[in-house]
Chains A and B, each alone.
With several copies, the nearest count.
Chain A
């Protein structure tokens, strides 16, 4: 019988090897898998490629989320849309200690979805003719300039949902969804941390945002920081 529930975050990410490519859901601090990030930090995994909208986020003088991995020098490369959000990334970047692949946010979302949906590539106008479009195959469609974008996958996706059940069905809340449902589709192994574990059949099947087929492991997050008052 299938039961995707793991007892703790560390257990759910134990097989993540040095050099892994990992997608992290979240936008700023909303919808980030903070417990899986902490577990990965504790585990000491190195040389990872991070795919995420931001490399962590700053509130006042403190940096949260993925920033702990960057600060600790665990990340080889960042693929995302808005790295300016953290000072620790900026410092590493300026010292040439971390690689950056900058992707427009909508293209990032669409590339991840493309991987999950078996799309071999797609054309968008976003970035055509700009620095971010340079080197990409260009095509004129109905008078407008488009560039070809590639699907983007990963070894692991770490996502965060509000609720999840034993089959991996997930429900998000507010703007906590963001990249999470897309990343869940695009990785070899998807690990979801949730605030609440629901029993089999307890989630109305009409309200499920991520069907369990996209999720391999579910773990109840150990601790949720309250960043705002």
Chain B
């Protein structure tokens, strides 16, 4: 199996999608790495669904406060200009279309941008804010490994996992490549260093439109 990019490199690439002034919701796990890659000349407010806009980073020893955590229940800090608010306002931000971008993990994404990331067969289900995010936030980037641990495709023709949302994913960043979800289906935009278009096709079930050239992520 081809390794492709590290999680940090994927986070660095995802961070490039964040524009000055954006409010961004980061999912639990890998997406939180994005926090470290936002250039200091951009004003970006990170939203955490439990009631904070302007999350800083993870709290260091001595900084942690029991009533100051992120969506993963980890102690965090906040930045200048941050605000705290209750859950209804937090989800008004999400559902009302006020947040510019969400970066989240996934079990599966289909060729037309359907997303599965909340539960699987035989699993006790948990949903959190995932279903609110996919209907409310205009741009959804999925950040995930290209395949499962045992090598099966996660980018599929149609979902076999329970759906979180329909036609909601705009971009997929995996360890192998960057795919855009377009009207015509998935388009291969960029390749990880050392990865070929053929490598990507070999472990993707969904159809992929291949432009003449693919940029390599630098």
Contact = CB atoms under 8 A, between A and B. Distances in A.
A117 B92 contact: yes
Contacts of B68: 30, 174-176
A178 B73 contact: no
Interface stretch (B8-16, B49-57, B149-157, B198-206): B49-57
B86 A179 contact: yes
A174 B52 contact: yes
B89 A211 contact: yes
A73 interface: no
Contacts of B99: 213
A27 B50 contact: yes
Contacts of B127: 81-82, 102-105, 132
B92 A118 contact: yes
Given A169-B83, A179-B87, A106 B132 contact: yes
A129 interface: yes
B128 A175 contact: no
A64 B197 CA distance: 49
Interface string B70-89: 00010100101111111111
Nearest to A4: B21
B124 A129 contact: no
Nearest to B133: A106
Contact of B88 (A31, A90, A113, A224): A113
B59 interface: yes
Contacts of B59: 228
Interface stretch (A13-21, A36-44, A135-143, A198-206): A198-206
Interface string A75-109: 00000011111000010011000001011111111
A227 B67 CA distance: 10
B164 interface: yes
A211 B124 contact: no
A94 B122 CA distance: 10
Contact of A205 (B66, B78, B131, B162): B78
Contacts of B135: 118, 124-126, 128
Interface stretch (B40-48, B103-111, B174-182): B40-48
Q: Which interface residue of A124, A130, A226 has the most chain B CB atoms within 10 A?
A: A130
Closest CB pairs A-B (n = 3): A28-B73, A106-B91, A118-B95
11 contacts: A1-B20, A2-B43, A30-B67, A57-B73, A83-B124, A105-B49, A105-B91, A132-B131, A167-B45, A206-B84, A214-B93
Interface of A: 1-2, 27-31, 53, 57, 81-85, 90, 93-94, 100, 102-110, 113, 115-119, 124-132, 162, 165-167, 169, 172-182, 185, 200-201, 205-206, 208-209, 211-214, 224-229
Interface of B: 20-21, 23, 41-43, 45, 47-54, 59, 61-62, 64-69, 73, 75, 78, 80-99, 119, 124-132, 135-136, 162-166
